[in-house]
Amino acid sequence: MRYPLKFFIIFLLVLSLAGCGGLDKKELDTITVWHWMSDRDEAFQELAKRFENETHIQVKFELYAPSESYTQKIKAAAQTNTLPDIYGILGEKKDFASFIKSGYVADLSEDLNVTAEGGTWKNKFFEKALSVNEFLPDNEYAVKPGIYGVPLDVTAIKIVYNKKLYQKAGLDPNKPPVTWEEFLSHCKVLKENGIQRFVSGFGEIWMIDALASNYAMNLMGEERVFETYEGKVPYTDPDWVRVLSLFKEMADQQILVEGAVTMVNKTAEQTFANERAAFAFNGSWCVNVYKGMNPNLEYAAILPPRITSKHPMKVWGGAGGSFVVNNKSFRRGSAIQFLKWLTQEEQQAYFAGQTENLPANKKSVAQISPILSQFAADMDNTTHPNIYPVHEDHEVIEAFDKGIQSILIDEKTPEAVAAEVQKVKEKVLKRAHKP
């Protein structure tokens, strides 16, 4: 009876060895791409087929989701030099820098600047989308300046509002709020009519971060925010307390839908799609999501209602997903060729159309749906931590965002949170300056 087990193991061993048969030339030339975008896998497979028809080079897309598992996989592969020819890097700029410094990312600056018909490859993209993949001279990561990846699509996070609910409350559906005061007064009217006001996936703290930074930059200007990250301005500064107080106002006036503080974005999307909230703070990918859940939803996208006109209201956004080329791959040349092809107008238009996302190629924008163009409207004002000249430490960001959660549930005051965040900031600064 022992034997069956031994046989089984030997059998499997043989099976697995049999799997590594001889590689033919075609397999050797196959470009492997790793990604995490489950929604776009079908579109990718189709594009791979088209590429093969045109160039006879095979491209294999492999999907690893969700994004946390994907991140673990590329980090593990980095340890063993088993990264594929093309892949994406999720996470902070710091991680991107580490991958580059470990030799796993090819510098694409030269290829981007090659002139061909229709201009350089570089010029096809929205500037902001490319900046996410760019390292400027004198960057804090000591990475050689250059552009190391290409964007596939672009996202922008804005506020959407439900036109039908506006009508129901007697508000003009074509006059959404432009200032914070208007926003508050519209919310009062909605409340009187028994309509829930605002929902967002605030359980995912990066969403809180997005809205808070939008308002911080609107209130005090980008420069001052960056100075705070550098440690020159404390978080206890009245400007920051004012930003935090905005959330207190939201809590006091019960603007948030119940439970939003621990909601994941997907739940928030359901809530808005099922017309249970008048406002949502969500990104351009929501167009596809809402369409699937409620094709009759009538809504539009606007900038977050501004506090002041002194500084522009920024939009959190930039590149959606980007691909980099493995510098250690011996198929670099064809990989770059594939990426160039992938980001051409025709392919981008197809991609954007299939997945209802904003294309990264400027010229393909003409062919997107009206609601998507509303998201694309303020492309020049988009910003994202990955293109800031300075970055804030993760611990401080977490303390800040979780602090806002506490404000929203009436547990702490804005002043108390500001003091706490400043304490964490000082600890981090001290740690950074230790020899």
Partner 1 sequence: MNAAALSARPEINYEKVKRITTSFFIHAFLIVISIACLFPLWWAFASSLKTQQTVFSDLSLFPKNPHWENYYYAWTKADFGLYFLNSLIYTVTVVIGVVFVSSMAAYAFSRFQFPGKNILFLVIISTMMIPIPGSFIALYVLLNKLHLVNTQIGYILPQINGQLALGIFLLKTFFDDLPKELEDSARIDGCGRLRVYWHIALPMARPAIAVLAIFSILAVWNEYLLAMLVLSSKNFMPLQRGLMVFQGAHVTQYPLLMAGIIITVLPVLVVYLALQKHIIKGITAGAVKG
Partner 2 sequence: MNYHRIRNFVGNYVFILPAFLLFFTFSLYPFFKVFQLSVTNWDGISPSIAFVGLANFKDLLTENPTFWVSMKNAFYVTFLALTVQNFLALFLALLCDRDIKGGNVYRVIFYLPPVLSGIVVGLIWNWIYDGNYGLLNHFLAFIGLGDLSRAWLSDPKTALLAVSMIHMWRGFGWGFVILLAGLQSIPRELYEAARVDGANSWIVFKSITVPLMIPVFILVSILTILGTMQIFDIIIATTGGGPGYHTEVPITRIVATMIGSSQFGYACAMGVIFGLILLALSMVQIRVSKMMRQI
- Chain contacts with partner 1 (rule: CB under 8 A): 1, 5, 8-9, 12-13, 15-16, 19, 36-39, 41, 62-67, 69-70, 72-73, 75-77, 79-80, 82, 266, 270, 274, 285-286, 288-289, 292-295
Q: Is 2 among the residues that bind partner 2 (CB under 8 A)? A: no
CB of 387 to partner 2, least distance (A): 19
Tokens found for residue 290: 């809402």
Q: Is 122 among the residues that bind partner 2 (CB under 8 A)? A: no
Residue in 378, 163, 173, 159 with CA at minimum distance from that of residue 255: 159
CB of 65 to partner 1, least distance (A): 5
Q: Is 394 among the residues that bind partner 2 (CB under 8 A)? A: yes
DSSP letter for 399, please: H
CB of 117 to partner 2, least distance (A): 38
List all residues 6 or more positions away from 283 whose beta carbon is below 8 Å from its beta carbon. Answer: 155, 156, 157, 158, 317, 375
Angstrom distance (rounded) from CA 37 to CA 65: 7
Tokens found for residue 424: 């964490």
Q: Is 203 among the residues that bind partner 2 (CB under 8 A)? A: yes
**Which CB atom, from 62 or from 192, has the smaller least distance to partner 1?**
62
List all residues 6 or more positions away from 192 whose beta carbon is below 8 Å from its beta carbon. Answer: 169
Write out the E strands in 30-110: 31-35, 59-63, 86-87
Question: Considering CB distances under 5 to 8 angstroms, the limit depending on partner class, which of partner 2, partner 1, none binds residue 102?
Answer: partner 2
Question: Considering CB distances under 5 to 8 angstroms, the limit depending on partner class, which of partner 1, partner 2, none binds residue 295?
Answer: partner 1
What angle, rounded to 10 degrees, do the helices at 345-355 and 41-55 form? 160
CB of 123 to partner 2, least distance (A): 31
Burial class (CB in 10 A: 0-12, 13-18, 19+), 237: middle
Alpha carbon 334 to its chain centroid, in Å, reads: 28
List all residues 6 or more positions away from 30 whose beta carbon is below 8 Å from its beta carbon. Answer: 57, 58, 59, 60
Q: Is 261 among the residues that bind partner 2 (CB under 8 A)? A: yes
Q: Which of 155, 196, 361, 386 binds partner 2 (CB under 8 A)?
A: 196
Q: Is 260 among the residues that bind partner 2 (CB under 8 A)? A: yes
Question: Considering CB distances under 5 to 8 angstroms, the limit depending on partner class, which of partner 1, partner 2, none binds residue 260?
Answer: partner 2
Q: Which helix (H) or strand (E) holds 248?
A: helix 238-252
- Let me know: does 317 contact 83? Beta carbons within 8 Å: no
Question: Considering CB distances under 5 to 8 angstroms, the limit depending on partner class, which of partner 2, partner 1, none binds residue 286?
Answer: partner 1
- Let me know: does 54 contact 81? Beta carbons within 8 Å: no
CB of 3 to partner 1, least distance (A): 12
CB of 78 to partner 2, least distance (A): 5
Angstrom distance (rounded) from CA 319 to CA 361: 11
Q: Which residue has the tokens 């611990």?
A: 395
**Which CB atom, from 356 or from 392, has the smaller least distance to partner 2?**
392
Q: Which of 92, 182, 237, 345 binds partner 2 (CB under 8 A)?
A: 92
CB of 274 to partner 1, least distance (A): 6
Residue in 273, 233, 210, 237 with CA at minimum distance from that of residue 401: 210
Q: Is 205 among the residues that bind partner 2 (CB under 8 A)? A: yes
**Which CB atom, from 15 or from 28, has the smaller least distance to partner 1?**
15
Q: How are beta strands 382-383 and 315-319 bridged, if at all? A: parallel
**Which CB atom, from 20 or from 142, has the smaller least distance to partner 2?**
142
Angstrom distance (rounded) from CA 35 to CA 364: 23
**Which CB atom, from 37 or from 335, has the smaller least distance to partner 1?**
37
CB of 363 to partner 2, least distance (A): 35
Question: Considering CB distances under 5 to 8 angstroms, the limit depending on partner class, which of partner 2, partner 1, none binds residue 294?
Answer: partner 1
Q: Give the binding range for partner 2 (CB under 8 A) out of 66-74, 149-157, 160-168, 182-190.
A: 66-74
- Let me know: does 257 contact 197? Beta carbons within 8 Å: yes
Q: Is 39 among the residues that bind partner 2 (CB under 8 A)? A: no
- Let me know: does 384 contact 316? Beta carbons within 8 Å: yes
- What angle is formed at CA 178 by the lines to CA 176 and CA 182, rounded to 5 degrees? 80
CB of 112 to partner 2, least distance (A): 24
**Which CB atom, from 40 or from 128, has the smaller least distance to partner 1?**
40
Tell me the one-letter amino acid at 139.
Answer: N
Q: Which of 94, 144, 175, 188 binds partner 2 (CB under 8 A)?
A: 94
Which positions lie near partner 2, rule CB under 8 A?
68, 71-72, 75, 78, 91-92, 94-95, 98-99, 101-102, 196, 203-205, 257-264, 267, 276, 394-395, 398, 402-403, 405-406, 408-409, 411, 427
